[in-house]
Amino acid sequence: MSNLIALQNDTANIVQDEWTLVNLPATQVEVRKQAGKVVLFKLTGEASVAEEQVKNTIIPETGKIIVPLRVFIARNQELTQKLAKGEVGVWLATHELIEDLIANVEDINTLPIIAIFVERFADGRIFSLGTLLRTRHHFKNELRAFGDVLRDQLFFLKRSGFNSFFIRQDRSAQEAIAGLKDFSAPYQGAVDEPRPAFTRYNRGI
Amino acid sequence: MYKYDEIDQQIVDERVAQYRDQVRRYLAGELSEDEFRPLRLQNGLYIQRHAPMLRIAVPYGMLSSKQLRKLGDIAKKYDKGYGHFSTRQNLQLNWPKLEDTPDILAELATVQMHAIQTSGNCIRNITTDQFVGIAPDEIIDPRAIAEIMRQWSTFHPEFALLPRKFKIAVSGTAEDRAIIQAHDIGMEFYLDHNQQIAVKVWVGGGLGRTPILGTVIREHLEWQHALTYCEAIVRVYNLHGRRDNAYKARIKILVKALGIDAFRQQVEAEWLNLKDNANTITEAELARVAQHFEPMPYETLSEHDARFDAAIASNTAFASWVKRNVHAHKQPGYRAVTLSLKPHGKPPGDITSEQMWLVADLADQYSFGELRSSHEQNLILADVKLGDLYSVWEKARANGLATANIGLLSDIICCPGGDFCSLANAKSIPIAEAIQMQFDNLDYLHDIGDLELNISGCMNACGHHHVGHIGILGVDKDGSEWYQVTIGGKQGNDASIGSVIGPAFSAEEMPGVVQKLIDVYIEARTEEERFIDTVRRIGVAPFKQHVYADKNLAKEGAAA
């Protein structure tokens, strides 16, 4: 059973994933500590991918693929043909900079999909990244959240411009889908509905 | 005050349903501890030493009598018959059962209340001056904008999971009573030279582990842009705040690290993209919300009342209560009254269900059915006629709500501390009670005069100890409880962070230490000086010397 929820015209369905996610080869990760506690979140802009990893990433020959941002940038030439066929999307983690993506793609809407990896659900940077991609960079295609994606964050993700959600594997996407409808008339304007309640409704004088 | 329409009501009702399901899933084992934590916190629920603690939002401190009555009912039905007003003007229940919290929220929703975002890493309850709307020195009543900001910040999708908590205060008076410089964002409303409402925006203030006063990021912001400008600030913070270290995650650390100029540059660049978007506040929306905060239907009264004057002349207890607990009002013949939640020897800020019901009745009878909570943890009847003050006093006094100590040493601001809070290093309430008993003489307290004493049970500084004239911080040393003392902190326009006087003390020493500080002040003060003025004039050294004199002798003795 697929764990991917796709939102189309405000209707959410569980759909098969047409995309293959290309991962970086694993490396030794050193455990860092700050103030006696294990560091759970990488700093925004922090370099986290080794050249070696980029070099050793296996890019599949066929099919639609979502490649890591660093691979997309460093090995762009290898992707030219697939890019032309609309078979390449890009994923980045919440600590990576969308400016790096923007600087390396002529027209962001040539990408059929951008996916954001959220390692821990409490990392709210994902909401700003979605918002910026939609409002600042006018990205119109599929925007996907994957990683630690859970029911109770779906409503916020939807409002921040995401339209597909890869629910964490150990959770039911069928149950999570309800989270998209937690609130029917939110107060503030956001990506999915730019008008705040005060201009959307006649709230009287 | 603001009254919900269908949209507001639907949001709190849907919140109850959402939260009820979250609790169900948690109890069914479908949500892990780590997954449930941010969800419950954003609904004000802490897991504490004895039981959960539920923090109920009182937006910018405004309450109706109906709401307070309901809070009294809830405390009776689901708790031990009392509640605690916090320094964020909210009400905390110390003993609810986790399983009952959805029902409590459902009951709150029937009186247009909730616990949304009273904790967690999100935009918290917006606070302001408890005399908002009635203070003679008020230039702008900021409640309409505060309410618009409350709605904007409620479930703001982009800011649902910030690096850390985020506190906003608004104020519209000449003299700041909302400690806007101690907030992540402080909004100071004023009239610009075109007589238009404008905002001076402060950023990066905060107490806690690293106390820092805010800096002005923008001198002049037109009110229409209040939301979009805050959006720009919070976005920069959301993206660049230190998520790697919880102790460095507040916006103040980011502002300090970048420097205000670089931070401002980023915010202004962000704002260029947001300015004038759909979240720009319209005249119509301001007018719609502002009508909820129109002045009360006051009677035309004289500034004098013969009965009142006679009562003052004949009753010294009443006179001293009026001196401390009654405050000036914009409207002739009216006064604001502070009902003290600081009777000596009781936990500061605590109030029983019976007292809540009584205060609700007083509000209905004497103050248009409304009241306020203050960040000093007292309740305020904002619109009482001069001629009614004596009756209010009698009824309040009969119910333990008329201690004439507002602004005095025993009007202690105090967090729940180690008796209740699992974050605390040390108890705070027993220290407050012991100090109140040390100074349990109203004449003496009045002689000491204006003095703010703040106690926090840990670094998180819920008791705002850094801005207390005397601040007391509970610290843990090798598993036992000690208290560090600061003096010279102050809230207001000339806010300052207090200086530590020296090594910490044991709980038993604390009343004596405060006594010694007071002795130095009494000895050194000039006629018109308050404690804080004396500290600022003579510095910390004389206080330190006197407090540690015996200790130093003891040390020398031990060395010899």
Three state DSSP letters for B480-528: EEEEEEEECCECCCCCECCEECCCCECHHHHHHHHHHHHHHHHHHCCCC
SS (H, E, C) B76-117: HHHCCCEEEECCCCCEEECCCCHHHHHHHHHHHHCCCCCCCC
Q: Are residues B221 and B284 in the same domain?
A: yes
Query: For residue B463, what is the domain's CATH number?
Result: 3.30.413.10
Q: Are residues B158 and B254 in the same domain?
A: yes
Rounded distance, CA B27 to CA B211, Å? 38
Rounded distance, CA B33 to CA B261, Å? 41
Q: Are residues B202 and B342 in the same domain?
A: no
Structure tokens that stand for B168 in this block: 């906003």
CB B336 within 8 A of CB B432: no
Residue B123, in any domain of the structure: no
Chain B residues with CB under 8 Å of A189 CB are: 277-279
B441-469 pLDDT, tens per residue?
A: 999 999 999 999 999 999 989 999 999 99
Rounded distance, CA B28 to CA B24, Å? 6
Rounded distance, CA B451 to CA B472, Å? 14
B137-152 pLDDT, tens per residue?
A: 999 999 999 999 999 9
End-to-end CA distance of chain A: 51
Residue B120, in any domain of the structure: no
Residue B474, in any domain of the structure: yes
CA angle B449, B450, B453 (to 5 degrees): 115
Structure tokens that stand for B164 in this block: 């850390």
Residue B535, in any domain of the structure: yes
Q: Which of B5, B148, B281 sits opposite A204 (nearest CB)?
A: B5
Provide the edge-to-edge strand list for the sheet that holds B480-487. B413-414, B453-456, B470-477, B480-487, B499-500
Q: Are residues B76 and B183 in the same domain?
A: no
CA dihedral sign, ordered A83, A85, A87, A91:
positive
CA angle A136, B149, A158 (to 5 degrees): 45
Q: Are residues B394 and B432 in the same domain?
A: no
Q: Which residue of B has its CA nearest to A195?
A: B278
Query: What residue ranges of chain B have pLDDT lower than 70?
Result: 48-50, 552-560
Domains and CATH numbers, chain A: 48-200 (3.20.20.70)
What pTM, to 2 d.p., does this model score? 0.93
Chain A residues with CB under 8 Å of B161 CB are: 121-124, 127, 153, 156
pLDDT for B559: 47
Burial of A47 (0-12, 13-18, 19+ CB in 10 A): exposed
What is the greatest pairwise CA distance in chain B? Answer: 78
pLDDT for B560: 44
- CB < 8 Å from A in window 160-189 of B: 160-163
Domain boundary residue, one of B238, B265, B291? B291
pLDDT for A17: 97
Rounded distance, CA B281 to CA A111, Å? 36
Structural domain including B321 reads: 306-398
CA angle B527, B529, B533 (to 5 degrees): 160
Rounded distance, CA B514 to CA B82, Å? 29
CB B128 within 8 A of CB B92: no
DSSP tag of B542: H
Helix (H) or strand (E) holding A51: helix A51-56
Q: Are residues B203 and B260 in the same domain?
A: yes
Rounded distance, CA B421 to CA B424, Å? 6
Q: Which residue of A has its CA nearest to B162?
A: A124
Residue B118, in any domain of the structure: no
Helix (H) or strand (E) holding B547: helix B541-559
Contact assignment for B285 to A187 by CB distance below 8 Å: no
CA angle B68, B73, B76 (to 5 degrees): 125
ipTM of the complex: 0.97
Domain boundary residue, one of B291, B325, B358? B291
CA atoms within 13 A on the CB side of B501: 30
Residue B114, in any domain of the structure: no
Residue B138, in any domain of the structure: no
Chain B residues with CB under 8 Å of A172 CB are: none
Contact assignment for B288 to A197 by CB distance below 8 Å: no
Number of domains in chain B: 4
Q: Are residues B166 and B249 in the same domain?
A: yes
Task: Please give, rounded to a whole number of angstroms, the shortest distance from the CA of B438 to a CA of chain A.
Answer: 39
- Distant-in-sequence, close-in-space partners of B457: CB < 8 Å, separation ≥ 6: B415, B416, B417, B418, B421, B423, B424, B425, B426, B427, B428, B463, B474
Task: Please give, rounded to a whole number of angstroms, the shortest distance from the CA of B281 to a CA of chain A.
Answer: 9
Please check whether residue B316 touches A, CB under 8 A.
no
Q: Are residues B314 and B276 in the same domain?
A: no
Domain boundary residue, one of B109, B129, B162? B109
Contact assignment for B152 to A187 by CB distance below 8 Å: yes
Contact assignment for B278 to A123 by CB distance below 8 Å: no
Contacts of residues B19-24 at CB distance under 8 Å and 24 or more positions apart, as own/partner, are: B19/B43, B19/B101, B19/B102, B19/B105, B20/B102, B20/B105, B20/B106, B22/A152, B23/B98, B23/B99, B23/B101, B23/B102
Residue B131, in any domain of the structure: no
Q: Are residues B251 and B188 in the same domain?
A: yes
Helix (H) or strand (E) holding A33: strand A33-34
Q: For residue B22, give the amino acid letter.
A: Q
Q: Are residues B264 and B317 in the same domain?
A: no
Rounded distance, CA A183 to CA A167, Å? 20
Rounded distance, CA B253 to CA B245, Å? 11
- Average pLDDT taken over every residue of chain A: 95
Query: For residue B331, what is the domain's CATH number?
Result: 3.90.480.20
Q: Are residues B338 and B419 in the same domain?
A: no
Q: Are residues B202 and B63 in the same domain?
A: no
Q: B379-385 and B370-373 as β-strands: parallel, antiparallel, unpaired? A: antiparallel
pLDDT for B554: 56
A5-44 pLDDT, tens per residue?
A: 999 988 999 999 999 999 999 887 778 888 788 888 999 9
